[in-house]
Structure 1
Amino acid sequence: MPREISSERLRDRFDRFNEIGATDRGGVNRPSLSDANRRARDTLVEWFEEAGLTVTVDEVGNIFGRRDGTNDDLAPVLVGSHVDSQYNGGRYDGVIGVLGALEGIETLNDAGVETERPIEVVSWSNEEGVRFQPDMLGSGVFAGKFETAFAYGLEDKEGDTFGEELERIGYKGEAPCEPRDLHSYFELHVEQGPTLADAGLSVGVVEGVYGFIWFDAAFTGSADHAGPTPMHLRHDALVATSDIIEVVRRIAGTEGEDLVGTVGSLDVSPNAINVIPERVDFTVDFRSSDDATVDRAAERVREEIDHAAAREGVAGEYEQIMRIDSQTFDPDCVETVAAAADALDAEYTRLVSGAGHDASYLNGVCPTAMVFAPSVGGVSHTEDEFTEWDDVVTGTNVLFNAVLEQANEAPGADSGSES
């Protein structure tokens, strides 16, 4: 029989936690390494310790809480997500994965249940990447994708570095941030898309994650007076940029069935009503489950930037700042999640995530799987983000039972030093 967590205790913790950085419109504002993020970390550490977990903070601020197993030499099952937020973001994104993992520990404690393997709950550092880019930084360093020195040197818009701010808030730990022997990793997250909500389903069994590419790009033309300058003598950086915005939409509609494309950020200079724009810095984001489709889209947009620059008589430039291949999660871990959903009579579907998650990087370290809870209206990364509480509980129960199953798996089943 599957076990079930305490909905009331989880709800109480969820509501109290989201008082930290709460916004007037019902969201939260806890960007990485902010004062609100520090208070969230402090609260999490306090709750970890109250649950009897041994807390470790590594050198990039990832927080781990370990519950020993009966055979503590076995590789642990890792479970968690993140508690940093977008600027004025939602209350559910990341948080349900961390607090849901902690609630699973509390449920085991209440029942006096010991697991053969240790279980570790993790809160990853700087998942959102809104203040310090790139996103998924803490899990990326952990997985060996980024160097610690690279993370420390990242600057926000005020010129404060990640390393300095990590030290300022007191979460520059001493434990090395590097790959280590793990049995498996599980993560509960809101879907951040409409699939589950549209289908009226409570659970998503996530089979993988889209690959994606990010570009920084810019056009540089000539600033001039908006009145006396004839149209044929203009070199308008914003006009060239508008061509690319339309091109990105067209590429996404024609290059692949599940390809999506976005120009998400624009910085126009001098940004005055009566001055022709001299420079525009912008971003391009392409995502698909098929890596070849992403690469074709990227090559097409590079060509179109060159063409738009030539048409408008401006200079164009572009730089790839992120490329992550699509991920296929471990079949056994995925089936463990599906079996947990079946045992709980939870209605679910299998799907691929269009958003990147820390699980994308952990998938290269150990067998990995994810559980999705529906986002009402598919809305996320805003204060309007909402998930029905029954769905949060169902997703947490699926997560808990999947983790419990893996934490009692016999030695020799993982690919680490035990085998």
Structure 2
Amino acid sequence: MLDIDADRLRETFDDYAEIGATERGGLHRLALTDEDRAVRDRFRRDLEALGLEVRVDELGNMFARREGTDPDADPVLVGSHLDSQPYGGRYDGQLGVLCALETFRALEDAAVETRRPIEIVNWTNEEGSRFEHAMLGSGVFTGVISAAEALAITDDDGRSVGEELERIGYAGDHSCEAHDVHAHLELHVEQGPTLEEHGTSVGVVEGVFGMSWLDVTIDGEADHAGPTPMHTRTDALVAATDAIGEIQTLPTRLSEDAVTTVGRISVEPDSINVIPSRATFTADVRSYDDAVVDRGVEEIRFEVEAACERIGASFEVEEIWRIPHTEFSESVCATIDAAAAEADVSAERIVSGAGHDAKYLNDLAETAMIFVPSADGKTHNEAEFTPWDDVVRGAEVFANTTLRLAAE
């Protein structure tokens, strides 16, 4: 059994969490910002200190390879992402990268040779918060989106992925394309309350929800807030709020696991004494059942149309992203189960409501994930927290699952 150095992992975690740290103990490290460059530089130094060569592809995905004894064996791929949400938490993403890094360090400490090579990766723009295509680097790697399309995506200031990669020095020389992988493993915080509620240290992730993102635009008519009678108004925001209220209650009509979220809304002309002429908002619908997601999209279109008909507004609903649900590898899940049992760590099977890079890698190789608990289920905010004892247990299970996979 491989032993990790819990104190070293904690020190490394705290050091990385200082890069982009917020005053309230969170992390603000958006993809391809100066903070992202700084953490990438630190990650590169840590890998090179292990004698590893760091390879960067055209999307900025960072790889390093620890060779195995069989030069013809396909590698085990481990890692996650180092970018964060705006004013997000310290655990989301980077904990998975750092547990993978600690696994490499523990293997060196023990002078363990594995049959298969092991590769570590930091994926670019997993969050999709600055450049709106979540899991962008892994999406290009697995052929979900083309490199040219990904590099052309712009942020709210008009800066493209390609331009920002060049600016921070991480526009790599290698093509972003998949190579043969034996198995893929990613550790992540749960981002939900189940493990904490059950008193379980590790979640063995069997799959990921399917999901759809929608952009909704409602057009009414601007007019003066004072002299315009209420019954003559075509207020786009009124229609939007009516629809949003129905979207909030929609999951009760869909399924037990369905969830819906309106995460962004804007109004034009955005003046205190002008009736809104346009309202735009996003809608996110998720379930482990793809048919439920389909019905959710149809219901959202229906509710928007009904709200607009009531006041005479026009509308457009555009689906901007859709991924089906994912079923992870039973063999990798069973390997995680075995590693948890060997380490005497409590574990249970679980499904993820959030998307992760492992979702795309599942199409390329046998894949699964390990979750550690999120206190109060909170994530994507500065209050995100995982008890350190659970981090250590998760890291132990992760390291020994990796070791088992590399011996296959």
Letter in 1 for 2:195: L
CA distance in 1, matches of 2:311, 2:261: 22
Letter in 2 for 1:345: D
Aligned length: 408
CA distance in 2, matches of 1:253, 1:167: 47
Q: Which residue of 1 aligns with 2:273?
A: 274
CA distance in 2, matches of 1:267, 1:215: 14
Q: Which residue of 2 aligns with 1:164?
A: 163
CA distance in 2, matches of 1:337, 1:268: 48
- 8 Å contact from structure 1 (residues 52, 67) kept in 2: no
Q: Which residue of 1 aligns with 2:138?
A: 139
Q: Which residue of 2 aligns with 1:9?
A: 8
Q: Which residue of 2 aligns with 1:331?
A: 330
Q: Which residue of 2 aligns with 1:361?
A: 360
State which drifts further: 98-107 or 306-315.
306-315
State which drifts further: 303-312 or 286-295.
303-312
The equivalences for 1:201-280 within 5 A come to 201-280=200-279
Report the alpha carbon displacement of residue 61 of structure 1 after superposing the two structures with TM: 0.5
Q: Which residue of 2 aligns with 1:87?
A: 86
Letter in 1 for 2:321: M
Report the alpha carbon displacement of residue 87 of structure 1 after superposing the two structures with TM: 0.8
- 8 Å contact from structure 2 (residues 247, 303) kept in 1: no
Deviation sequence 1:168-212 (CA, Å, 0-9, x none): 101010111112100000000000000011112111010000000
CA distance in 2, matches of 1:165, 1:399: 33
Q: Which runs of 5+ in 1 are unaligned?
A: 410-419
Report the alpha carbon displacement of residue 382 of structure 1 after superposing the two structures with TM: 0.6
Deviation sequence 1:370-398 (CA, Å, 0-9, x none): 00000000000111100011111111111
Q: Which residue of 2 aligns with 1:192?
A: 191
CA distance in 1, matches of 2:383, 2:273: 36
Secondary structure of the equivalent of 1:79?
A: strand
TM-score, with length taken from structure 1: 0.96
CA distance in 1, matches of 2:353, 2:261: 13
Q: Which residue of 2 aligns with 1:412?
A: none
- 8 Å contact from structure 2 (residues 2, 107) kept in 1: no
Runs of at least 4 residues off by over 6 Å: none
Aligned: 1:58 with 2:57: yes
Percent of aligned positions with the same letter in both sequences? 54
Q: CA RMSD in A?
A: 0.8
State which drifts further: 303-312 or 99-108.
303-312
Report the alpha carbon displacement of residue 243 of structure 1 after superposing the two structures with TM: 1.4
Letter in 1 for 2:167: R
State which drifts further: 390-399 or 297-306.
297-306
TM-score, with length taken from structure 2: 0.99
Q: Which residue of 2 aligns with 1:401?
A: 400
Letter in 2 for 1:289: Y
Q: Which residue of 2 aligns with 1:417?
A: none
- 8 Å contact from structure 1 (residues 217, 282) kept in 2: yes
Secondary structure of the equivalent of 1:395?
A: helix
Secondary structure of the equivalent of 1:173?
A: coil
Secondary structure of the equivalent of 2:4?
A: coil
Report the alpha carbon displacement of residue 244 of structure 1 after superposing the two structures with TM: 1.4
Secondary structure of the equivalent of 2:369?
A: strand
Secondary structure of the equivalent of 1:323?
A: strand
Aligned: 1:117 with 2:110: no
Aligned: 1:32 with 2:31: yes
Q: Which residue of 1 aligns with 2:20?
A: 21
Letter in 2 for 1:283: T
CA distance in 1, matches of 2:20, 2:178: 32
